C-alpha cells in the first residue's frame, strides 16, 4: 500500500525546502522592519534566529545531561514504595 502522502520522502523533502525558505525569509524581512527600540544583545541582527536556535541547543544539551543523573525506569515507583 502507498504510504500516506504526508510521509512520502518527496513530501518530506518539499517540507524541508519550504521550512528553509520560511527560515530565510524571517531573517531577510528583518532588513525592512527593524526597530532600534531594543537595547544590548536584543539589538543584534537576527537576534531571534540565533538566540532561539542557541537557547534550544543549550536547553536540549542541559536536559540531556540532567537526564543522565536523574532518569529512572518508568516503573521506578511501581514497587509500591510510595
Partner 1 sequence: MTELLHPGLLLVAAGVALAPLRGSARAALTLLAPAAAIALVLALPEGVLWKGSFLGYPIVPFAVDRLSRLFALVFAIMALGGGLFALGQASRVELPAAFVYAGSAIGVTLAGDLLTMFVFWELMAVGSTLVIWSAGTKAGYRASMRYAMIHLLGGVVLMAGIVGHVAATGSTAFERFALDSPAHWLILGGFLVNAGAPPFSAWLPDAYPEASWSGTVFLSAFTTKTAVYVLLRGFPGTELLVFVGLIMVFYGIVYALLENDMRRILAYSIVNQVGFMLVGIGIGTQMALNGAAAHAFTHILYKALLLMSAGSVLYETGRRNCTDLGGLFRTMPLTMVCGTIGALSISSFPLTSGFVSKSMVAQAALDGHLEVVWLLLAAASAGVFLHAGIKFPWFVFFQRDSGLRPPDPPWTQRLAMLLFAALCIGLGVFYEPLYRLLPFPVDYVPYTGAHVVAMLQLLLFSGLAFFVMLPLLKRTLTITLDTDWFYRRLGPRLARIVERMIVAMDRFVRQGSLGILRAFMRGMGMALGDRERFARATSTSTMVAWVAVLLTLYLLFYYATQR
> For binding to partner 1 (CB under 8 A), which residues are involved?
4, 6-7, 19, 22-23, 26-27, 29-30, 32-35, 37-42, 46-53, 55-64, 66-67, 70-74, 76-77, 81-82
Tell me the closest approach of the beta carbon of residue 16 to partner 1, in angstroms: 9
Task: Name the DSSP class of 2.
Answer: P
C-alpha cell at 5: 502522502
User: How far apart, in whole angstroms, are the C-alpha atoms of residue 82 and residue 76?
Assistant: 10
Phi, psi of 4 (to 5 degrees): -50, 140
Tell me the closest approach of the beta carbon of residue 70 to partner 1, in angstroms: 4
Tell me the closest approach of the beta carbon of residue 10 to partner 1, in angstroms: 17
Amino acid at each position: 500500500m502507498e504510504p500516506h502522502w504526508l510521509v512520502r520522502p518527496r513530501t518530506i523533502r518539499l517540507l524541508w525546502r519550504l521550512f528553509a525558505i520560511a527560515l530565510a525569509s524571517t531573517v531577510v524581512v528583518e532588513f525592512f522592519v527593524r526597530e532600534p527600540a531594543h537595547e544590548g544583545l536584543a539589538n543584534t541582527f537576527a537576534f531571534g534566529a540565533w538566540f532561539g536556535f542557541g537557547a534550544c541547543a543549550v536547553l536540549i544539551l542541559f536536559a540531556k545531561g540532567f537526564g543522565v543523573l536523574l532518569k529512572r525506569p518508568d516503573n521506578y515507583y511501581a514497587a509500591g514504595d510510595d
